[in-house]
Structure 1
Amino acid sequence: MKPKTALILVDIQYDFLPPDGSLAVNEGNQILEPTYKLLDNAREYFDLVVASQTLNSPYQDHPVSHVSFASTHGKDPFTAIEVPKLHSEETITQMLWPDHCVQGTGCELEAGIQTRLDKLSDMVQYIRKGDNIAVDSYSAFADNQYISFTPLTRALHAAEITDVVICGLATDYCVRATAIDACKFGFKTIVLVDAVRAVDGSQNEAVLAELQRWGCEMASSNNLINV
């Protein structure tokens, strides 16, 4: 059977982009040009395009008082704390973030990305995550505790996808979790190193090495598409 490939764009939203995003990833805007190029050539190289968003629903965005917000706990952003694990007496480590992806304050996909997705609407699947205020959700496949799953696996199987190509933000959190889950679900997984950036840039190479240990392949957009 001929392989079929999906391009997965992870959380390319204004709150994760410099200069004004509340949780802007350093150099995050540098992923835009290679991602534009991928989308401009999507019909030639991909069978499906997936765009994930940290959102509560299409109508109600990332909940206020979310467990991941530093403001919820009265602590400083980028502090790690232990929070209760649902349906368990155990705890789980939670990184605390500035409030982000709250309705009307940066949850939208970047305009150049959205314009291109609109032109590809017949081959685009949107995946929205983050609707449970008690559980953080990095991966486009499932929340961090694997309590609930998005429709992504079903959508990929319905389209007979065998391979996924991943880009977006951020390498050390949502990209990492999405790539690992893609491997867990048996997809050949390629991470585009020129189209991802990390919250902690000093950890970028270590995270990419970890993903290779999981079975991910590393590539650049220039090598992937011959344009």
Structure 2
Amino acid sequence: MSTRALLVVDVQPTFCEGGELPVDGGNRVAQDVAAYVAAHRDRYGLVVTTQDWHIDPGEHFSSEPDFVNSWPVHGVAESPNAALHPALADLAADVAVRKGQYDHGYSGFDGADEVGRSLDQVLREADVREVDVVGLAESHCVKFTALDAERHGFETRVLTDLTAPVSAEQGEQAHRELTEAGVELTPSTAR
């Protein structure tokens, strides 16, 4: 059994074109992630999805967002746009983690699965040592999830062709932060 996990971060309609907080290329990322998993599921001992699942995240939501610390309403728990993207219908993830119910919830490590296990617990119970991170948005939830994975001691890679940033500038900043923290940035085709 592989000790590598794939973390599919926030691939939800809310972050795709037509959603409340769209990322350019979000629908493409959803389709590409689905195709990648279909072709390479055997590379991973565990596939985990994360979802923004906001109930009352406080100042995270704003009617006058600054798009840095506050955002338009998005990822509302139980709403259709908070569900996984339809492209992931056949993903067959092993674990689903929901985050941000009452806070920002940028990192998958802030959330829990349906029985209350943290992402760190889920990965350790499966004897995972390495993680690949994909999803939306590269400059925010993907970045924070990858940084936390590295901090928790997992060998961490972001598959750069299976993600998209909020903006090119924020994507470049995320790449700098990730590289400085020791996270590997690589396209999925390099595997």
Verify same fold: TM over 0.5: yes
Could you say what secondary structure the match of 1:106 adopts? helix
Q: Note the C-alpha offset of 1:150.
A: 5.8
Q: When the two structures are superposed, what TM-score results if normalisation uses the length of structure 2?
A: 0.89
Q: Note the C-alpha offset of 1:42.
A: 4.0
Q: Whose Rg is larger?
A: 1
The corresponding residue for 2:20 is 22
Per mean C-alpha deviation after superposition, the further-off stretch among 29-38 and 178-187 is 29-38
Which residue of 164, 172, 184 corresponds with 1:205? 172
4+ long deviations beyond 3 Å: none
Unpaired runs of 5+ residues, structure 1, are 56-61, 81-94, 144-148
The corresponding residue for 1:131 is 101
Equivalent-residue separation in structure 2 for 1:109 and 1:77 (angstroms): 24
Equivalent-residue separation in structure 2 for 1:110 and 1:125 (angstroms): 16
Q: Note the C-alpha offset of 1:160.
A: 0.5
The number of residues matched between the two structures is 186
Q: Note the C-alpha offset of 1:15.
A: 0.4
Amino acid at match of 1:205: E
Identity of aligned residues (%): 32
Equivalent-residue separation in structure 2 for 1:165 and 1:126 (angstroms): 16
Q: Note the C-alpha offset of 1:188.
A: 0.4
1:38 aligns with 2:6: no
Amino acid at match of 1:109: L
Equivalent-residue separation in structure 2 for 1:178 and 1:172 (angstroms): 11
Equivalent-residue separation in structure 1 for 2:32 and 2:188 (angstroms): 6
Structure 1 residues 162-218: Cα deviation after superposition (integer angstroms, max 9, x where no partner): 100000111111011100000000000010111111112222122112101101111
Taking the TM superposition and a 5 Å limit, the aligned residue runs for 1:1-227 are: 4-18=3-17, 20-55=18-53, 62-64=54-56, 66-71=58-63, 76-78=64-66, 95-102=69-76, 103-113=78-88, 115-117=89-91, 120=92, 124-132=94-102, 135-142=103-110, 151-224=118-191
